Amino acid sequence: MTVRPPDRAAAAAATVPVPDPAEDARVTPMMRQYLEIKAANPDCLLFYRMGDFYEMFFSDAEVASRALGITLTQRGKHLGQDIPMCGVPVHAADDYLQRLIALGHRVAVCEQTEDPAAARRRGSKAVVRRDVVRLVTPGTLTEDTLLDSRRNNYLAAAARVRGMGDDVVALAWADISTGDFAVAETQASELAAALARIEPGELLVSDSLYDDPQFRPLWRTAGWTVTPLPAASFDSISAERRLRDYFGVATLDGFGALSRAELAAAGAVVAYVDRTQMGSRPPLSPPAREPRGAVMAIDAATRANLELVATLSGERRGSLLAAVDRTLTAPGGRELARRLAAPLTDPAAISARHDAVEWLVGRSEVRRAIRETLRTAPDIARARARIAVGRAGPRDLAAIRDGIAAARSAAATLGAAGDAPAAIAAIIDRLTGPDVSLHGRLEAALVDRPPLLRRDGGFVRPGFSADLDEARALRDESRKVVAGLQAKYQEATGIRTLKVRHNNVLGYFVETTAQHMEKMSAEPLAGVFFHRQTLASQVRYSTAELADLEGRIATAAERALALEGEIFDALAAAVLAEGTALEAAAAALGELDVHAGFAELAVERDYVRPLVEASLAFEIIGGRHPVVEQALAADAAGPFVANDCDLSPPDGDDGRILLLTGPNMAGKSTFLRQNALIAILAQAGAFVPAARARIGIVDRLFSRVGAADDLARGRSTFMVEMVETAAILNQAGPRALVILDEIGRGTATFDGLSIAWATVEHLHEVNRCRALFATHFHELTALAETLPRLSNATVKVKEWKGEVIFLHEVAPGAADRSYGIQVARLAGLPAAVVARAREVLERLEETDRRAGTAGLVDDLPLFSLKPRRAAPAAAPSPPVHSVLAERLAALIPDDLTPRQALDLIYELKALAQDMAEQ
């Protein structure tokens, strides 16, 4: 996704300026009010409430009508000019808000804060009071309709504090729809990776960070809204005060030792929440500090390339997340996405997660019962957040009620099974935290299936409140009285079609067709029925009885609604009082869902518990690709061929590099990626698709394929590939796992080969990390003779009657050829092209043999130049090979037609010129 234009830019792009109200006294009172509110919220589109619509004016109207595809109209004139206007109906506002937010706009929602009748009492010209009740921004949403239930929506802030060194940036990120709040510090160079993991909906940065050339490309190409704020929002001293105030604590000591930069970032987050929520405070947990290196660092390119949460084309289907997701609840889905995005690096914590999964794998009955309970468990966290900000409906209260019940039931099932490992015991503890009496109260107060909206009433159970029951009885009774009156009036008038009706203007009235008008206006009826209104074919009357009834009904219905409102508020307060325990239970349900989902997956697809340890081992026996395996099964396309991968240090010191050659389509990329995905799954706490796996903690994961163009950044394919390779060679330490797929293929053969060559050497000698390197440069396999920790492997194929059969089996050794032409034929290349390609290939191979290129590697000076450990290997000179000589050697003059010979002379001349210019 491209970065959205900041609203300032959008506003500036609009053609109609917002006028200054002070400029002219002829400004109407309503316009003056509008302009004042707009002036106070210049960065937002202003949704100005007028009756059943939110209206937008001036440049806002132009921006919104373009963005939403709604009609732009005019509404009166302002200072002699038409006022552009567009509007959205209030009942559909969420939908429009969602679209505007997705485009990166901020919206200020301005409501009428008094009854129009009250305004009228202040004078005929008085304008209804209005105020902004909320700023809606991409990072501060709480509505279900605006959020993806299975993904967190983070508001993040990045802060840098002078004196801490410019290369440290603190990040704070909070999801106000669930209460999650965390802080961490990172190197500036790793900020992009940290943000790629969090995927914030909105990122706050100080003006200076925003303008820093080091980060500009990141802001420009990020897939989230970047909101620059003045430096004052990132002041660490005020941040302390803001945090104390937000959490109602006298000191922040209980939050652990936060650095000044972390305080600044966390402070900016809470200040922004306060600003956008207009004082109502969503419940945030105290900021949890994530120690440096606590999670596996995975940069954005690696995440994209491994298709962790979405495929390269942006879909969830086909991603690792989709393949391993067996969760049943939205909180479980969010927790799973979080875990896959941030695998742990502490073997003990990982093992605790595996214990939980193993325990559930071994208890199918418990697992089944737990999953049955989870199926009905609502999203406690999001319901609670909406209750806290006053945007909840009766169903949110019911969600808390049913959530507590589900938590208790799950805890009972787990507890009864016995022998629970620590991770499960901790879950049981938190599940039973919320007060049972709160559940009892909600159960007693709410009907089983409450309606959506609080304002409609009807959610309190009959029998819960005697006062409410009485008001409802009166209200319903009165309705019966209306029916009785209608019958009585029909009787008295002899008009069978007479009706008692109601509307907002007349209240209750009697309605007859016009033909009875004469009768109704004559005595005795005229004494009872007062004429109110004549329509085309109906006449309407009132009676004293009806007027009296009107009052009684209105009061009873109003009273019933008011009483329900009070009950709602009391229940909401009780829910909020139970805050921390509810938050813990909600989190525990999410975690349990993930463990049970992993267990289900393990049983369903035969995954095993990996051994994750502090060593540098990487030994996968019978590994499979979690996504490709399922895709093959779904298409009934044959079994997935399991493969081993051993990158463990041969000498107990540094990890091994596996150089993988093999034909096209043989399964090289699949093999590379499956090993990276197994490491991610293992460290995220899941079982893995393998027969056995032993993994020494991976602290950083890199994965590069011969990359795609990055036109947004103005880089060519090859440039992107080299920038990414440079990042790996500069950053990968001994605990890293590096996956390189066909590096160097984006340029001329010899350049590519030389780069690939030097890259492997650097990985082996300097980075000394575990790595998998797939290539079509078969020459590289000779490196195994000189680099002791490098071994060759190939993906086997069988040739049968000129056809190639893919066995997908990885075995020690090197490939002898690429079978590119066979694959091209399978892909449907025209037969003539395939035949010609075979011819050309034969000739090239012949030339190669004659020119003795097979001996190329022996001649390369870099074999004798053994690179040292600390310093990068001295760059070997690229293979010296005369292109001209090569071309000439490939010639068979007898085969040339005179025309071809002439062309050849031109070609050779051009080549010679090229070389002279280099």
Nearer to ligand ATP, 289 or 625 (CB): 625
Stretch that binds ligand ATP, among 287-295, 446-454, 668-676, 719-727 (CB under 6 A): 668-676
Task: Report if residue 100 touches ligand ATP, rule: CB under 6 A.
Answer: no
Whether 665 has a binding-site annotation, put simply, is: yes
Q: Measured from the CB of residue 794, what is the shortest distance to ligand ATP in angstroms? A: 10
Nearer to ligand ATP, 302 or 669 (CB): 669
Coil, helix or strand at residue 290: strand
Task: Report if residue 668 touches ligand ATP, rule: CB under 6 A.
Answer: yes
Closest CA to 255 of 284, 233, 222: 284
Whether 871 has a binding-site annotation, put simply, is: no
Task: Report if residue 306 touches ligand ATP, rule: CB under 6 A.
Answer: no
Stretch that binds ligand ATP, among 374-382, 464-472, 657-665, 891-899 (CB under 6 A): 657-665
Could you give the angle at the alpha carbon of 449 between the alpha carbons of 444 and 453, nearest 5°?
100
Coil, helix or strand at residue 400: helix
- Cα gap 501→535, rounded to integer Å: 14
Q: Measured from the CB of residue 839, what is the shortest distance to ligand ATP in angstroms? A: 22
Could you give the angle at the alpha carbon of 51 between the alpha carbons of 48 and 56, nearest 5°?
25
Nearer to ligand ATP, 403 or 662 (CB): 662
Stretch that binds ligand ATP, among 488-496, 568-576, 660-668, 871-879 (CB under 6 A): 660-668
Whether 664 has a binding-site annotation, put simply, is: yes
Place of tokens 């207009």: 278
Q: Measured from the CB of residue 669, what is the shortest distance to ligand ATP in angstroms? A: 3
Choose which of 88, 109, 357, 641 interacts with ligand ATP (CB under 6 A).
Answer: 641
Nearer to ligand ATP, 590 or 706 (CB): 706
Q: Is the peptide bond before 524 cis (omega within 30 degrees of 0)?
A: yes
Choose which of 374, 407, 424, 665 interacts with ligand ATP (CB under 6 A).
Answer: 665
Nearer to ligand ATP, 222 or 795 (CB): 795
Q: What is the DSSP letter of 767?
A: I
- Cα gap 375→380, rounded to integer Å: 14
Coil, helix or strand at residue 288: strand
Strand order in the sheet with 692-696: 611-613, 692-696, 618-623, 643-646
Q: Measured from the CB of residue 797, what is the shortest distance to ligand ATP in angstroms? A: 10
Element (H, E) at 773: strand 770-775
Task: Report if residue 664 touches ligand ATP, rule: CB under 6 A.
Answer: yes
Q: Measured from the CB of residue 656, what is the shortest distance to ligand ATP in angstroms? A: 21
Coil, helix or strand at residue 20: coil
List the interface residues with ligand ATP, window 359-418 (CB under 6 A): none
Task: Report if residue 781 touches ligand ATP, rule: CB under 6 A.
Answer: no
CB contact set of 810 (below 8 Å; sequence gap of 6+): 643, 644, 645, 660, 667, 671, 793, 794, 795, 796
Q: Measured from the CB of residue 770, what is the shortest distance to ligand ATP in angstroms? A: 20
Q: Measured from the CB of residue 670, what is the shortest distance to ligand ATP in angstroms? A: 3
Give me 370's structure tokens: 């737990």
Nearer to ligand ATP, 409 or 664 (CB): 664
Q: Measured from the CB of residue 862, what is the shortest distance to ligand ATP in angstroms? A: 26
Whether 1 has a binding-site annotation, put simply, is: no
Stretch that binds ligand ATP, among 317-325, 640-648, 765-773, 898-906 (CB under 6 A): 640-648
Choose which of 139, 179, 332, 667 interacts with ligand ATP (CB under 6 A).
Answer: 667
Task: Report if residue 669 touches ligand ATP, rule: CB under 6 A.
Answer: yes
- Cα gap 375→636, rounded to integer Å: 30
Nearer to ligand ATP, 252 or 774 (CB): 774
Place of tokens 């080549």: 911
- Cα gap 734→616, rounded to integer Å: 8
> 192 near 299, Cβ under 8 Å?
yes
- Cα gap 216→188, rounded to integer Å: 13
Nearer to ligand ATP, 327 or 670 (CB): 670
Place of tokens 């900000």: 389
CB contact set of 216 (below 8 Å; sequence gap of 6+): none
Stretch that binds ligand ATP, among 542-550, 658-666, 843-851, 867-875 (CB under 6 A): 658-666
Choose which of 33, 233, 670, 703 interacts with ligand ATP (CB under 6 A).
Answer: 670
Nearer to ligand ATP, 403 or 746 (CB): 746
Q: Measured from the CB of residue 318, what is the shortest distance to ligand ATP in angstroms? A: 11
Choose which of 628, 680, 743, 763 interacts with ligand ATP (CB under 6 A).
Answer: 628
Task: Report if residue 252 touches ligand ATP, rule: CB under 6 A.
Answer: no
Choose which of 108, 205, 424, 666 interacts with ligand ATP (CB under 6 A).
Answer: 666
Strands (E), 29-154: 45-50, 53-57, 73-78, 81-89, 107-112, 130-136
Q: How many residues at the interface with ligand ATP, by CB under 6 A? A: 13
Please state, as a whole number, how many other Cβ atoms lie within 10 Å of the Cβ of residue 528: 17
- Cα gap 198→169, rounded to integer Å: 15
- Cα gap 599→663, rounded to integer Å: 37
Exposure string of 709-733, with b = 16+ CB inside 10 Å and e = fewer, is ebeeeeeebbebbbebbebbbebbe
Closest CA to 610 of 584, 562, 645: 645
Stretch that binds ligand ATP, among 110-118, 599-607, 635-643, 863-871 (CB under 6 A): 635-643
Closest CA to 155 of 200, 110, 193: 200
Nearer to ligand ATP, 137 or 792 (CB): 792
List the interface residues with ligand ATP, window 430-489 (CB under 6 A): none
Nearer to ligand ATP, 276 or 670 (CB): 670
> 48 near 57, Cβ under 8 Å?
yes
Whether 662 has a binding-site annotation, put simply, is: yes
Whether 909 has a binding-site annotation, put simply, is: no
Nearer to ligand ATP, 644 or 699 (CB): 644
Residue nearest to ligand ATP (CB): 667
Q: Measured from the CB of residue 303, what is the shortest distance to ligand ATP in angstroms? A: 19
Write each residue from 200 to 219 as x if it is in contact with ligand ATP (CB under 6 A), else as -, in one continuous string. Answer: --------------------
List the interface residues with ligand ATP, window 792-821 (CB under 6 A): 808
Rounded alpha-carbon distances, angstroms, from residue 630 to 192, 606, 623, 637, 643: 32, 12, 14, 10, 16
Q: Measured from the CB of residue 808, what is the shortest distance to ligand ATP in angstroms? A: 3
Bridge partners for 533 per DSSP = 540
Stretch that binds ligand ATP, among 233-241, 333-341, 348-356, 665-673 (CB under 6 A): 665-673
Q: What contacts 24+ positions apart, CB below 8 Å, involve 124-127?
A: 125/29, 126/29, 127/29, 127/30, 127/33
Nearer to ligand ATP, 138 or 662 (CB): 662
Q: β-strands 168-175, 155-159: how paired?
A: antiparallel
Nearer to ligand ATP, 201 or 667 (CB): 667
Q: Measured from the CB of residue 628, what is the shortest distance to ligand ATP in angstroms? A: 5
Coil, helix or strand at residue 807: strand
Choose which of 210, 234, 508, 640 interacts with ligand ATP (CB under 6 A).
Answer: 640
Nearer to ligand ATP, 350 or 815 (CB): 815
Whether 669 has a binding-site annotation, put simply, is: yes
Residues within the interface to ligand ATP (CB under 6 A): 628, 640-641, 643, 662, 664-670, 808
- Residues belonging to the binding site are 662-669
- Residues belonging to the binding site for ATP are 662-669
